Structure 1
Amino acid sequence: MSPGDERGYGSGPSRTDDGYSTIGGTRQTRTRLPDGEGGDGYGTPRRPARSSRSLVTVVGVVVLLIAAIAFANMSGGGGDGNNGRSGSSGTKPDSSSTAATGTKPVTGKNGSIPSGFAHDEQGAQSAATNYSVALGSAEMFDKERRHTVVATVYAPAVAAARQGDLDKVYSGQSFLTSIGLNADGTAPAGLTFISRSNPVGTKVVKFNGDTASVAVWYSALFGLAGEGSKNPVSESWFTNTFDLAWIDGDWKITDFTQKDGPTPVGRDQAASPAEEMADAVEQFGGFTYAR
C-alpha cells in the first residue's frame, strides 16, 4: 500500500482511529508514544496537533499582511522621499504622459480649428495635436479652406510663404490626378474622399516658455472610398515634430518636420467594403483633442 493511501502506511489502525495522526491538515502519519516519552524521538515534549481553526487564523493573518504591503506600495509608502510620485529615477515612463489632467485644453475656436491654448507645456501639446488634425484634413485640398487653415495654425511671419508652397503642392494637377481627385480637388462622382489624421500621443521635445517643440505620433487614413476606386482608403503612420511660438496669446507653428512611423504590425482583419468605409467618414466625426 502506498504512503499516500487513505488508510496510512502499512497495516494497523487507520488515520481516523487516532486524533493525533494528522498534523495541521497535511495528512502525515505520526506514531503515538506513551505519555512522558519524547514525542519526536529527541527527548522534547510532543506538541499537540494544530487545529483547523488555528490554521485558518494564520492564513487569514498572512493574507491581510500581504494586502497591507501591496496597498502601501501602491500609495507610495516606501519612504523614498518623493511623496509617492513615480518616475523620480527616470527609468520608467510617467503615467501622466497619457492620463487626462482635468484641465480644459482650449477656450475657443477659430472656425473649425480650436484656439486659445494654455501658455504651458500642456497647451503646446494640445495645439500641436489639433494643428496636426487640421493640416491632415480633407479641407487642405480645397483652396479657400486651405488658406483658412494655414492662416490659423501658422505664425504670421511664415504663413504667407507656407501658403504659397502648399498651393503649389495641393493645386498641382498631376498630384491631384495621381491620388484620384478631379482638377479642382473634389472627388469623382460616386466616390468619397477621406483624409484624416488620428493622433495617438504627443511628446514635448523642448520647452522654453514662449517656444516649444512637440512631436505628435499619429495614424493617417487616406484615399477614395466607393465602388470602382483606384485609390482605396489605406492607413499609414507618421510622427510630425512642430516648432511652436507663443504669439498674440496663442501657440502658432513656425516650422515642422515629418518622418515615417513608428508603425505597428497590422492585424489580420478583412478590409471593409467600399460603401461601409464611405459611410464611416460621414457618420463618425472628428475630435477636439486635449493635451
Structure 2
Amino acid sequence: MSLSDGGGYGGGEPGGPDTGGQTRTTLPDGGDTYGAGRRPRTGFSSRNLVTVVGVVVLLIAAIAFANRGGGEPSGADGAAKDTDTQATAPTGTKPVTGKNGGIATGFAKTEQGAQSAAANYSVALGSEGMFKADSRHAIVDRVYTTDAAARLKGSQDKAYSADFLRKLGLDAAGNAPKGMSFISRTIPVGTKVEQFGDDKAKVAVWYTGLIGMAGPGSTDPVRTDWQTWTFELSWSGGDWKITDDAQKSGPAPVAGDVPAAGAGEISKAVKDYGGFTYAR
C-alpha cells in the first residue's frame, strides 16, 4: 500500500462509495483526505493536555501550601513559634469582655494575655483622664497592684503639677479653656514579651501618641510622638497588674508628607473615632 498523489491511500475499499477510482478514507480523527485540511498534530491528544494542566495546577497548589506561614509550625493556641518575627501576629483568641471603669479586664494568664493587658493599660495611662487628679487615681488603682498604686500616686500628683498643666494650656484642675479640646491618646503599634513565667511578665509596647490642644489660637497644636513603654506585670487577683514601668523615645519612622489637618478637623476626628480594646 502506498500514498497516492491526492494524499489518499490507493486501492479499493469493500463497500466504500464511488470516488472516481480513488478510495475516500475516513481517518481516526474524523477528517478525510478530500475534506478541508486536517488540523496539524501537536504531539498531544486533548486527554494528554488535560492531564498536563492538572499536574501543573497541583504543583502550584503544593508550592503555595508549603510557603504558607513561612513553613513555621504553630503552637496549640495558634501563635507562631517565632516570636521575634511574629510578635504581634493574631492568635484567634477572642477579646476580653470585662470592663472596669472603661478599662479592659479579665486577661488570660498567657503571654498573649499579658501583651493584651499591657497594650490596654498603655491606652488608659495615655488618656486625657490622667491629667485630672480623681480620674488619674482611679486609673492607677485599676491597672497597678495595690502596693504600686500607693507608691505612685504621690509622685504622679507632683508630676502633674499646676505649672505642668498650665504649659499644656490646662487649668489647675486639668480642664481645657472654653472652645478648646485637649487631646491625649496612645495608639499601640506592637507588643513584645521580654520575660514570662512564675506569675510574672515583662512586656514592651511600641506606640505612637497624640497630644496637644485643638482650637482657635492654640499655642500647643496636636502633635504625634513615638515611644516604647515597658511594663513589669504580676498576676494578682485573677488578672495582670502593673508593678513597675518605664518609657523611652522611639523608634520613630520618617515623617510622611500628608498635610497637617486643621484644629477643628483633628478635634472632630478624636471625638468621632473611638479607641479599641486590644487583644491578641
TM superposition score normalised by structure 1 = 0.73
| Residues 289 and 77 (structure 1), Cα distance of their counterparts in 2 relative to 1, 3 Å cut | closer
Match in the other structure for 1:120: 110
Match in the other structure for 2:125: 135
Match in the other structure for 2:152: 162
Which of the numbers 244, 248, 258 marks the counterpart of 2:233?
Answer: 244
Which of the numbers 42, 60, 64 marks the counterpart of 1:51?
Answer: 42
RMSD, aligned CA: 2.9
Q: Separation in 1 of the partners of 2:188 and 2:83?
A: 25
Deviation at 1:60? 3.2
- Matching of residue 70 in structure 1 with residue 44 in structure 2: no
Q: Separation in 1 of the partners of 2:83 and 2:152?
A: 40
Deviation at 1:215? 0.5
Match in the other structure for 1:232: 221
Deviation at 1:123? 1.2
8 Å CA contact retained: 1:105, 1:122 = no
| SS state at 1:117 partner | coil
Q: Unaligned stretches of 5+ in structure 1?
A: 1-48
8 Å CA contact retained: 1:243, 1:253 = yes
Which of the numbers 143, 146, 149 marks the counterpart of 1:153?
Answer: 143
- Structure 1 outlier segments of 4+, above 6 Å: 83-88
Q: Separation in 2 of the partners of 1:243 and 1:156?
A: 14
8 Å CA contact retained: 2:79, 2:91 = no
Which of the numbers 179, 189, 194 marks the counterpart of 1:190?
Answer: 179
Q: Unaligned stretches of 5+ in structure 2?
A: 1-39
Instruction: Give aligned pairs, total.
Output: 237
| SS state at 1:198 partner | strand
Q: Separation in 2 of the partners of 1:111 and 1:128?
A: 17
| SS state at 1:159 partner | helix
Q: Deviations over 1:236-274 (max 9, x none)?
A: 111101000011111110001111111111111111111
Q: Separation in 1 of the partners of 2:128 and 2:193?
A: 27
Q: Separation in 2 of the partners of 1:123 and 1:106?
A: 9
Letter in 2 for 1:154: Y
8 Å CA contact retained: 2:80, 2:89 = no
Q: Deviations over 1:30-53 (max 9, x none)?
A: xxxxxxxxxxxxxxxxxxx96285
Match in the other structure for 1:253: 242
Higher RCO (C-alpha under 8 Å, 6+ residues apart): 2
| Residues 238 and 183 (structure 1), Cα distance of their counterparts in 2 relative to 1, 3 Å cut | same
Which of the numbers 188, 199, 218 marks the counterpart of 2:207?
Answer: 218
Match in the other structure for 2:164: 175
Q: Separation in 1 of the partners of 2:264 and 2:57?
A: 58
Q: Separation in 1 of the partners of 2:74 and 2:112?
A: 23
- Matching of residue 285 in structure 1 with residue 274 in structure 2: yes
Letter in 2 for 1:261: G
Q: Separation in 1 of the partners of 2:69 and 2:174?
A: 57
Q: Separation in 2 of the partners of 1:285 and 1:202?
A: 21
Query: Could you say which structure has the larger radius of gyration?
Result: 2
8 Å CA contact retained: 1:222, 1:235 = yes
Match in the other structure for 1:98: 88
8 Å CA contact retained: 2:88, 2:192 = no
| Residues 198 and 144 (structure 1), Cα distance of their counterparts in 2 relative to 1, 3 Å cut | same
Letter in 2 for 1:196: R
Deviation at 1:98? 2.9
Q: Separation in 2 of the partners of 1:77 and 1:265?
A: 29
Deviation at 1:161? 1.4
Deviation at 1:66? 4.0
Q: Separation in 2 of the partners of 1:86 and 1:191?
A: 44
| Residues 73 and 92 (structure 1), Cα distance of their counterparts in 2 relative to 1, 3 Å cut | farther
